[in-house]
Amino acid sequence: MQRKTERLQKILSANGITSRREAERMITEGRVSVNGIQAAIGQSAQIGVDCITVDGMPIIPLEEHVYLMLNKPRGYLTTSYDDRGRQTVMELICDIDSRVYPVGRLDLNSEGLLLLTNDGDFANAVMHPSFNKQKTYEVTVRGDVKKAAELLRLPVSIDKFVVQALKVELIDASPGGGTLFITIAEGRNRQVRKMCAACGLNVDTLRRTSIGELCLGDLKTGKWRHLTENEVAAMFNERKTQ
C-alpha cells in the first residue's frame, strides 16, 4: 500500500512514538530529523520514503495497532521517558512487544484508569473535545465535604478557565472529610484537584475509574489488559451531541 505525505506529528503518533502533542514538543526540541536535516513544526514527510528519525533512531512503520488499559499506581509518571530517571508507567508494561505511549495524563500521585496505544487516531478520539469523553474520579478528601459537594456542582474558575463538574456524588461523609465521585468532561491539568481546592477540600487520594464507556472494573493496581474490539469501537463512536 502506498503511503501518503503527512505531518510529522501525525506520523510519530500513528507509529507508536508518542502523542501528537508530545511529538510537537520533540520537534521543537530538535529531536526529530527528516533525511538527516532537523525537522520543523508543520513539516510533512512520507514514511517509508523519507528517513525520519527521533533521537537518531529511525521510525519503523507499524503494521498492527495495540490498545491497553492500565490501572496506574501512585508514584509513577505518565510519560514514555523521564530524563531524571524517575519511575514511569512504561515500566509496568515492559512485557509488551509493541511500542505504545500513554493517552492523556494522570499526575504522579493520582491512580486508576490509563489508556496506552500506538494508534494516533484512537488517542485523538479519547482526548479531543469533539468526542466528549467523560471521565469519572473517586476522590477521598478532608474538609467540609457536604458543603463542597454542592459547590463542586457550580461553575468554578481554574487557571483562567471556567469549568464545571457534570456530576458529583457524595459517597460518604464524616466530620473530617469523605469520598466523592466527580465526573468531568474537560480534563485540564490537575483539574479535579484544583476544583476541590477551590471548594475548600484537601485531596488525599484520587483514582480515575472510567473514561467514556470504559470502566476500570476489577483490574488490579499496577496490572494491565488489552481492550476488546467492542471497547475500541466504542471509543471511536462516542461523539459530542450538538
Would you say 190 and 205 are in contact if contact means Cβ atoms under 8 Å apart? no
Residues 6+ apart with CB under 8 A from 175: none
**Does the annotation count 107 as an active-site position?**
yes
Closest CA to 231 of 218, 212, 205, 217: 212
Would you say 103 and 19 are in contact if contact means Cβ atoms under 8 Å apart? yes
Angle, vertex CA 128, rays to CA 225 and CA 115, nearest 5: 10
End-to-end alpha carbon distance in the chain: 37
Would you say 241 and 132 are in contact if contact means Cβ atoms under 8 Å apart? yes
- 83-105 exposure pattern, b = at least 16 Cβ within 10 A, e = fewer: eeeeeebbebbeeeeeebbbbbb
Q: Which of 107, 119, 121, 159 is catalytic?
A: 107
Residue type, 94: C
Would you say 198 and 155 are in contact if contact means Cβ atoms under 8 Å apart? no
Residues 6+ apart with CB under 8 A from 105: 78, 189
Q: Which residues are catalytic?
A: 107
